[in-house]
Structure 1
Amino acid sequence: MLQHKAYEYRIYPDKIQETLIVRTIGCSRYVYNHFLELWNKEYEETGKGLTYSECSKLLTRMKRDPEPAWLCEVDKFSLQNSLRNLSDAFSRFFKGQNEHPKFKSKKSPRQSYTTQFTNNNIAVSGNCLKLPKLGLVKFADSRDMKGRILNATVRRKPSGKFFVSILCEEEICELPKTDSAVGIDLGITDFAVLSDGTRNDNNHFTRQMEERLIREQRKLARRALAAEKRGITLSEARNYQKQRQKVARLHERVANQRNEFLNKLSIEIVKNHDIICIEDLNVKGMMLEPQTGKKHF
């Protein structure tokens, strides 16, 4: 069965490549916000929005103008994919699947762009990964890619690290049948209790990192106050920015630990059972409030 599967790798771009990645992300965000504004105006005036083909034609005209000529310096597929994302967002909005598309901010923790595979522009060459416009970028080759490459998404995380997610189409075989069924009870004390009596302890690694996070976040708050007293914006305060990245790396580490715990547990359950039943409860709402001690139902 042909299915899509993503492979994520950490990349190590040099200064020139890093600047180009940031510029491409900025151009993709600009195109998305620009056409979102045009889409909203068109809908207010005519009662109908734009289409992807109309936006694509307008984007081609924009590149010919001298003012936004810097759009030609980045990967063209990243700009086209911004328009596709905007069109998909409006389609889901009119179907009632999500809220109205919002403008993207450069302060958002999600900073990425997507490029398409064509003419072998995405490939592995030794310990480097070939990407459009970037050329050969060093990456951590943690596992081999299989199947046909479809696209690649380059991300910049708040910690300052860069990652690439490569989407491939490959043949995925079904797991062997086990003729086993299991029920899962999600809890607060124990993360999950299986119907066969197996208990999976809650992720204690978040508690281990809690004290360290509190200490580093207090340092971040003090440095923000120090910058405010000196009349310096946070974007120009070097000590604040260094501490911000340190806190972001700690949050990223906790997220990675949590994801590893969930992935290992889910893979183990899926491999050993054919039928999986899970209760539909709002576990977070049932937790006690720290101030009032009241329960939410």
Structure 2
Amino acid sequence: DGKVRLPKIGFVKFEQHRSFEGVIRSATVSMTKTGKFFISILVEQENEPWIPAKNKVGIDLGLKHFAVMTNDAMVSEEIENPRFLRKSEAKVKKAQRALSRKKIGSKNREKAKLLLAKK
């Protein structure tokens, strides 16, 4: 009925996010600072038979290329490394440093804020 009984506490409202089948082995109850309870349930289930994958993909991460993917037919696909992120981070860092050196309320500080907002 949407409730679970906890020892020393009593009945607590319960909202089940995932269904499960099998034997319950253990339950861990935790409470947040706001007073909400969470229950993690460990369930033992029967093993499903392993079915090997029909298509296989190998992924190699690197520096020159972000990733190189190879499939069963030995066909490679290279994904370029997005290096624009590092350049953008450097520009933002420089703009933030310039903004921190300006006096609060000055026109130069407002200019620096506008420059930072554009990046």
More strand by share: 2
TM-score, normalisation: structure 1? 0.20
TM-score, normalisation: structure 2? 0.43
> Higher relative CO (CA 8 A, sep ≥ 6), structure 1 or 2?
1
